[in-house]
């Protein structure tokens, strides 16, 4: 009796296996697609958790492409009024920007990508003096850092540096050039 039962169960198992094989051959493309999606999902989650994965390479490329696209869409500088390190809306000499909104977007991006770090480079226009401008550039960078910290970004992800007046983007001697050069520039890195 036991032998018969074992034989039936083996036959049943074979039939089930065959029927499953027939059904998969008809929908192979769909399965591959769904498997790929699954891989992506796994890999994305693994990447964010920083666990090693067999799909690590694809994962990084996929993730970094997405991050790069997001970084490209972010504004990477804010501007300041003359001799000021206060973060405020600017609408003068051809610069019209909502600095806090730009920093909010950066903070949101940093929150969504915990592996990313940021370097804030403080700059000044040519009119001030070298030593004072180095200090003012540092103050400007520290202002943006303080703002990002207030939005929940941990200080160890934020680096500041001042270039004073040594890195102008516009070499003109007019209000537009000066207002362009009074800026914090943001560099993202891992």
User: What DSSP string describes 11-50?
Assistant: HHHHHHHHHHHHHHHHTHHHHHHHHHHHHHHHHHHHHHHT
Tell me if 142 contacts other proteins by CB under 8 A. yes
160 binds other proteins, rule: CB under 8 A: yes
| The one among 81, 135, 149, 151 contacting other proteins by CB under 8 A | 135
Q: Does 139 bind other proteins (CB under 8 A)?
A: yes
Nearest distance in Å: CB 85, other proteins: 9
- Is residue 126 a contact point for other proteins (CB under 8 A)? yes
CA dihedral 174, 175, 181, 184 (to 10 degrees): 180
What distance in Å separates the CA atoms of residue 180 and residue 170, rounded to the nearest whole number? Answer: 7
- Least separation in angstroms between CB 142 and other proteins: 5
**Rounded distance, CA 40 to CA 63, Å?**
10
Q: Which of residues 67-86 bind other proteins (CB under 8 A)?
A: 83
> Nearer to other proteins by C-beta: 90 or 136?
136
The binder of other proteins chosen from 41, 88, 127, 155 (CB under 8 A): 127
**Interaction of residue 45 with other proteins, rule CB under 8 A:** no
């Amino acid at each position: 009796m036991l032998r018969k039962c074992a034989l039936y169960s083996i036959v049943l198992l074979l039939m089930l296996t065959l029927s499953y094989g027939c059904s998969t051959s008809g929908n192979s493309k769909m399965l591959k697609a769904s498997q790929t999606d699954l891989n992506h999902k796994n890999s994305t989650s693994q990447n964010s958790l920083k666990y090693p994965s067999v799909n690590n390479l694809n994962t990084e490329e996929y993730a970094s492409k997405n991050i790069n696209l997001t970084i490209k869409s972010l504004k990477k500088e804010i501007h300041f009024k003359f001799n000021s390190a206060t973060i405020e809306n600017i609408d003068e000499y051809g610069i019209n920007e909502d600095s806090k909104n730009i920093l909010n977007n950066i903070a949101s991006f940093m929150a969504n990508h915990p592996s990313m770090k940021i370097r804030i480079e403080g700059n000044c226009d040519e009119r001030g003096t070298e030593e004072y401008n180095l200090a003012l550039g540092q103050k400007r960078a520290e202002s943006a850092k303080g703002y990002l910290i207030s939005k929940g970004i941990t200080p160890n992800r934020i680096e500041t540096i001042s270039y004073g007046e040594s890195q102008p983007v516009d070499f003109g001697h007019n209000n537009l050039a000066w207002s362009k050069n009074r800026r914090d520039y943001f560099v993202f890195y891992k």
